[in-house]
Structure 1
Amino acid sequence: MQQSVNIAICEDEAAETKLLCDILDHNDIKNSYTIFTDADSFLASYERDKYDLLLMDIYMKDSMTGIEAVSMIRKKDADIPVAFITTSRDHALESYRLSAIGYIEKPVSAAELNNVLHLAMLKKADAPSLYIKRNGALEKLAFSDIMYIEQRGRQIFIHMKDNTEIVCYEKLSELSSQLPAELFFLPHKSYAVNLSYAMHIDTDLKCFVMTDNSNIPIKRELTAKARKALESYFFEYTRSRL
């Protein structure tokens, strides 16, 4: 199963946005996209690991420039692939400083955009991942896309960040050896939680409260370890952003 590239498009010109969407809609690489008409609205909704690619217009009316917006993004996310879209090459050197994977002049060509999509797909394919067996084949799921894993009887239910659910016949006790301890915590024999999607621990209910508002139970004897694991994750995440 081909992975999908989740794209943020930040462009204020309707004609250019339509052109981008037309190319993406007819691309061989599976993708989805969200459109923003100014940098401020994009920054207000931005979350780390939410997108696999950012297509950023450099010049936008009534908004900060794309260079300024990506400079702010880079302070908290050094990894998201960015391609700048522009009417000139005046900011090419700045784009390389911001580790852009593409610098596309308008009007955008399908060939140039396809190249950027391919690079983003390769980067996503190289992401640290969980390997599962499903439908007779080995499948790869990026850790950053997994919210939590749940064992129900003989089946594993993998809850993804896009609110989809992947079901397979596996054992959590065997899959857990693939999960990095600094990112995943097993609060119960039937659950593994991605700490990046845990908002806090409800000490009364003894559970992780996730970003989708689901509650993941914590065994009483693991409550202190769960709290320490989440605090350590928050500390390391904050320190990495400084």
Structure 2
Amino acid sequence: MADNHKKAAFRMLLLIATPKLVNKAVGLFKEGNVPTQYVFHAQGTATSEVMDMLGLDGVDKNILMGMMPKTFADEMLKKLRKKLHLGMPNTGIAFTVFMSGGSGHLVQLIESLEPEEKQLAERNEADMTENEYSMIMAIVNQGFSEDVMNAARPKGASGGTVFHSRRIGNQEAMKFWKISVQEEREVVIILAQKEDKLAIMQEIGRQCGMHSKAQGIVMSLPVDGIVGLD
């Protein structure tokens, strides 16, 4: 990536909502000419009590993901909140996480969303500080997502979102490190407040880490902006 690209602030925007609302959001992304967008089928993990409190009648969810400049992402969050009524019962949540870079072609596509004078906006100090929320991502063997949530809930997690994935890795490296991991994996996404993040991650690691049957890995990413939790 060229030097001037390093100064540009990029974000990955994720919307976790009902399939109907995600379809509407896809239309908004298309209207904004967002060049890269992906939709995944997922399943919520909230307890029935939490679902009742939020007014949700099911746990079927889709995840919409797109990459865009920070200022564009900020405006898209506002648009999603207004058009999809995020924060109301039976809707969803949208948030952005930092992107530290990308391939040259991807960067060019993302930068095309904003006028040239905004493309070189410097990251301000707030970008580098820890925000109120973090996205915790736990990747475990298939069938262990509920174990992750059982570990996370007592430490402050109210719910999560699960989607299925397939591991693509270097078999020789796995043999060298004497690691045997199922190809079919489950990814659990949890939004956590900063005061709960460490405890949640430590407990997931303790119960579902690489030395357990879940053979999980846990990571966190700072959340930049968020709508749908009010």
Q: TM-score, normalised by structure 2?
A: 0.25
Q: Higher relative CO (CA 8 A, sep ≥ 6), structure 1 or 2? A: 2
Which has the larger Rg? 1
TM-score (norm 1): 0.24
